[in-house]
Amino acid sequence: MIIHRHGDGSEGYQYEVNDRVMVERTIQGGWFDIGPTRAETCTVERIEEGSSWRTALHKIRYSAEWGPAECFPWHLTPHPEVLASATLVQA
């Protein structure tokens, strides 16, 4: 993962394939809303090519039994382990 830190202190997260993420919601809605925190730890399986990292569609996998869910970056929060090892870029 790459963290883009802007002059005003705000940050943008650029996810990469295989990053662990917390899903706050999906485009389809509902089935991630099952835990006490309304999020599940998942893995980024695929990122739509040709789009900006800020708006690219992400395919997220929860387990082998469930097909990938579609999310946008603002639906996701980085897992603490991924956040700790991220590359920081001053934007």
Q: pLDDT by residue (tens digit) across 25-74?
A: 778 765 555 555 556 678 999 999 988 999 999 999 887 777 788 889 99
CA distance 26 to 30: 7
Q: What is the pLDDT of residue 37?
A: 52
**pLDDT value, residue 28:** 73
Is this model's pTM higher than 0.75 or not?
Answer: yes
Where do the domains of the chain lie, and which CATH numbers do they carry?
16-78 (2.30.30)
- In sequence order, the β-bridge partners of residue 42 are 21
pLDDT computed for residue 38 by the predictor: 52
What is the pLDDT, as a whole number, of residue 66?
Answer: 77
Whether pLDDT at 10 is above 80? yes
